Chains A and B, each alone.
Chain A
Amino acid sequence: MISVKNLQKDFGGVKVLKGLSTEIEKGDVICVIGPSGSGKSTFLRCLNMLEKPTGGKIIFEGDDLTDKKVDLDRHRQKMGMVFQQFNLFPHMTVMKNLIVAPMMLKKIPEEQAKAKAMELLGRVGLVDRADSYPNQLSGGQKQRVAIVRALCMEPDVMLFDEPTSALDPEMVGEVLDVMKKLAAAGMTMVVVTHEMGFAREVSNRVLFLDDGVILEEGTPGEIFDHPRNERLQSFLAKVL
């Protein structure tokens, strides 16, 4: 579904990504782990071109997103994204947050968009918050709404950028539960995370990034139980 080919990114001469290549297949749940500053978030943000790569290619459903002629907005509709800081629209109710993009971009009638939003809110247990504003929600609730907002566009893949890092510890579980259900339902997911338990339990593949390259890639069993690379071993020793 997404092929990443020799992806590179410089920030003002500093090489953050130094040539990454990987394949993301339909149904994959891929966790990206690594020390801070390793380029995990930049890698994820390059997948939907929120960061413009300085080199390499991102092929999504057959189209090269780094090609200047490609219609990025249309492709982004198929790639949901969940941010560390939620980024809900504070001037809109939860419901408006959920229906604004489907109505504007996919021309879905309001009633239909609302019905869909309500159904998805039900799945994350937030039907009663449809008329609330984001500031009236807890962090965990905000992040669940943010996930639903992305899902309302019916994406083919969901990108998560450290979705639980800004949450109080007691709220991490409710967000991870939603993500687990999503994975179980067959959604293709790429998750940058520090939640090793989640990575081990839910993902089918783990990428270990360090210093702008993929140092090791494998099943959770291979990565967590039989790490080969020395730096992965020392990283795991610190976080597990």
Chain B
Amino acid sequence: MILTPFFLAAGGSLGKWIAKLHETFIENERYKMMFEGFRNTLVITLGALVIGVTIGMLIAVVKYLAEDVPGLKPFAWVCDLYVKIIRGIPMVVLLLIFYYIIFALAKDGVPVAIVAFGINSGAYMAELIRSGINAVDAGQMEAGRSLGMSRIQAMRVVVFPQAIRYILPAIGNELIALLKETSVAGYVAVMDVTRAGNLIRNNSFDAVNPLMLVAIIYLVLVLLLTWLLGKLERRLKTGDKR
């Protein structure tokens, strides 16, 4: 009996909440900002992932080969410098430099953000791909070479297919970090999820709902990625015939 008014009250506040949501998100079609932000966050994250993995792979292979080929030493040195510089600069600062100095003429911030986040990610990818390659027993490369394979051939068919078991989960973790890091894209006027939420907060005078929604979107995306990663890792384990 005592519970009845509570339910009524809850129903009442639920109704109020829905009205508030309508006011915050539907009026002036503010939800459209959120859609655009969601799309941009995904585009920047995936674009940066592709660039990052490509750069990381290139650097890892150059540095690995340079251990044996003296001609590659200067390239390895350049790679080291790149990794050191990038890892020493905060992402936001890097993004501002790319937008206001290097691509000062760019009208759209999204491609600039993709490049900036990709170049940043590449430095971290390089290190984790390299440690994956180094985790494979040195005897594997020797066995390949002893059969007459070149360093690159042995890398391709012997070492790398084994290193991938260590590398993929690490790339997944980097992807999660990257996704969350893109929340600073708003610094260069890119409409990502975070900036969309913040703009809606500003326009609607409702701070709670837009910011909670932003947080929930990131959380759900991260949980989704984590779940996919777990599946991947289990698959790599069962495929492990060692």
Contact = CB atoms under 8 A, between A and B. Distances in A.
Nearest to B161: A91
Contacts of B144: 89, 101
Given A76-B145, A105-B147, A105-B149, A87 B241 contact: no
B139 A85 contact: yes
A38 to B, nearest CB: 21
A185 interface: no
A85 B143 CA distance: 10
A128 interface: no
A50 B147 CA distance: 11
A161 B138 CA distance: 16
A74 B148 contact: yes
Contacts of A135: 241-242
Interface stretch (B38-46, B92-100, B150-158, B167-175): B150-158
A153 B149 CA distance: 11
B146 A79 contact: yes
Indicate the member of A87, A133, A135, A153 with the most B CB atoms within 10 Å. Answer: A87
A48 B149 CA distance: 13
B147 A76 contact: yes
A42 interface: no
A46 to B, nearest CB: 13
A101 B153 CA distance: 10
A87 to B, nearest CB: 4
Contacts of B142: 50, 83, 87
B148 A105 contact: yes
Interface residues of A, number: 28
B162 to A, nearest CB: 6
Given A87-B143, A135-B242, A101 B148 contact: yes
B157 A50 contact: no
B145 A50 contact: yes
Given A90-B242, A91-B161, A101 B149 contact: yes
Contacts, number: 68
A240 interface: no
A91 B146 contact: no
Contacts of A74: 148
Contacts of B242: 90-91, 133-135
Interface string A95-125: 0000011001100000000000000000000
A90 B162 contact: yes
Interface in A127-177: 133-136, 149-150, 153
Contact of B241 (A48, A81, A100, A133): A133
Interface residues of B, number: 19
A38 B77 CA distance: 37
Indicate the member of B143, B150, B162 with the most A CB atoms within 10 Å. Answer: B143
A50 B150 CA distance: 12
Nearest to B159: A89
Contact of B148 (A76, A83, A88): A76
A105 B152 CA distance: 13
A104 B153 contact: yes
Contact of A149 (B137, B147, B161, B241): B147
B140 interface: yes
A132 to B, nearest CB: 9
A88 B162 CA distance: 12
Contact of A101 (B137, B139, B147, B162): B147
Contacts of A85: 137, 139
Contacts of B162: 90-91
Indicate the member of A88, A89, A91, A136 with the most B CB atoms within 10 Å. Answer: A91
A33 B47 CA distance: 59
Given A104-B153, A135-B241, A89 B143 contact: yes
Contacts of B150: 73
Contacts of A76: 145-148
Interface of B: 137, 139-140, 142-150, 153, 157-158, 161-162, 241-242
Complex A-B, nearest 10 residue pairs according to Cβ-Cβ distance, in ascending order: A77-B148, A133-B241, A87-B143, A81-B146, A101-B147, A87-B139, A90-B242, A76-B148, A135-B242, A73-B148
Given A81-B143, A83-B146, A101-B147, 10 more contacts: A76-B145, A79-B146, A80-B146, A81-B146, A89-B158, A91-B162, A105-B148, A135-B242, A153-B147, A153-B148
